[in-house]
Amino acid sequence: MPLSLFALMLTAPAAVVAPAEPVMPKPAVILAQTRRVADWQLANRTNWATMPAARKSVQEPRDWQQATFWVALTELANRDKAYARPLLELGRAEKWQLGNLAYHADDQLIGQAWMWAARSGAGKDVIAPTKAYFDNVLASRPTISLEFIPVAPGKGTSKCTDRWCWCDALFMAPPTLLQLAKATGDKRYADFAHAEFKATTDYLFDPAEQLYFRDSRFFDMRDARGRKLFWSRGNGWVMGGLVRMLQVMDKKDPKRPIYEKLFREMSAKLVTLQKADGYWPASLLDNDPGTPPESSGTAFFTYAFAWGVDSGLLDRRIYEPAALRGWHALQRAVQPDGMLGWVQQVGDRPESVSAKETQFYGSGAYLLAGTAMYDLSRRHTTR
């Protein structure tokens, strides 16, 4: 053997073996995984010790924290009728009401569960409180600024939340309004949703990064390395909201191309930000090694990618592997008892997270991801 070649063999680094791409689980496996998290959350729905950092408002089923789970449970009930019962029981107990705040998007999310109930045996009259709520909104439509000015130092609330001045709202309110427009045939609700969605996007969307700032406080905020702060779950709310809007909109709706374009643009950016371990970092531009897992944002992006591929909006070659990596990462976040861990707690920006932290909205995002992955797997097995 020539000496030069022998020397090269001694000094060359060992070949790096690329990790194998995860394999698509069978539909029954995905459904069982999804049921497991749903069953844990249902069994622990009043066990507040499992969510020690939760706000007191989490005890209110119509609040966004729980509502995310109940709305997601409708998707599981569409695939397993056994889950319809707790939803219908909850609606009756809550008298099909929305939240108590007259304009706040967080209090409007639960309406999606009630409209599902109307289509699933509860009767069309159950949407009457939702209709009355939004009729009041349309009759006295807020026109305040979208600038997020805290009501007091250190407080994360602002008077601007009577409108959609924070990106999370794009999951909570627009799909509810579009569903109401479809249920009633009243186009006013959809017109309002489209106008307010545009106002929020014009204000909070960064076209250079193809991501949403959480609210106006973050426009000039940077991390220690000078990177913009784009919150994973915040952008997850937007992606989840886009899916739920597109699911309702007619294929020929003249507004639909706007949302499809935004969905594809955000997806193209987000797929580049997924870490090698399958998770997305809590701060999306934080590509530092060793960032901890965060399951709520990851679940929303997995949901969006799986649905996007299944619906034909996203390129299967690029986004199906990303959805699979996300789904497999989420399985590692599920604790032995079925609790979804690594859920960042209630907040408005990237913060610390641990394996033992969970929340209703984390379980909800997981259920959305699971049902979308189930559909994708069923299509996968028939190809």
Q: Please say if the pLDDT value at position 18 is more than 80.
A: no
**Of residues 326, 306, 302, the one with CA closest to residue 314:** 306
Ranges of each domain in the chain = 29-141+164-382
DSSP-based three-state secondary structure for 283: strand
Residue with tokens 């960032």: 291
Q: What is the predicted pLDDT for the residue at 2? A: 37
pLDDT at 383: 63
What average pLDDT is seen over the chain?
92
Does the active-site annotation cover 168?
yes
pLDDT attached to residue 9: 30
pLDDT bracket for residue 381 (50, 70, 90): confident
Instruction: Give the strand pairing for 205-206 and 211-212.
Output: antiparallel
The pLDDT tens digits of the residues spanning 187-242 come to 999 999 999 999 999 999 999 999 999 999 999 999 999 999 999 999 999 999 99
Lowest mean pLDDT among 7-16, 33-42, 55-64, 111-120: 7-16
Other beta carbons less than 10 A from residue 210's beta carbon: 18
| pTM of the model as a whole | 0.93
pLDDT of residue 245: 98
| pLDDT above 90 for 174 | yes
- Tokens 């929305």 locate to 98
In this structure, how many other beta carbons lie within 10 angstroms of the beta carbon of residue 363?
Answer: 29
Catalytic residue among 168, 215, 310, 348: 168
Tokens 């797997």, located at residue: 377
Check residue 11 and give its pLDDT: 32
pLDDT, mean of residues 103-117:
98
Q: Which long-range contacts (CB under 8 A, 24 or more apart) does 241-246 make?
A: 241/170, 241/171, 241/172, 241/174, 241/175, 242/170, 242/266, 242/304, 243/303, 243/304, 243/307, 243/308, 243/372, 244/112, 244/171, 244/175, 245/174, 245/175, 245/178, 245/193, 246/311, 246/313
- Class of the domain covering 29-141+164-382: mainly alpha
Q: pLDDT-based confidence at 92, cuts 50/70/90?
A: very high
What is the total residue count of the chain?
Answer: 383
Strand partners for 56: none
* Confidence (pLDDT) at 6: 29
Least confident interval from 20-24, 203-207, 282-286, 291-295: 20-24
In sequence order, what are the residues at sequence separation of 6 or more whose Cβ sits closer than 8 angstroms to the Cβ of residue 250?
A: 256
Is 77's pLDDT higher than 90?
yes
Share of residues in the chain with pLDDT > 70 (%): 93
Span 66-71, average pLDDT = 98
pLDDT value at residue 3: 34
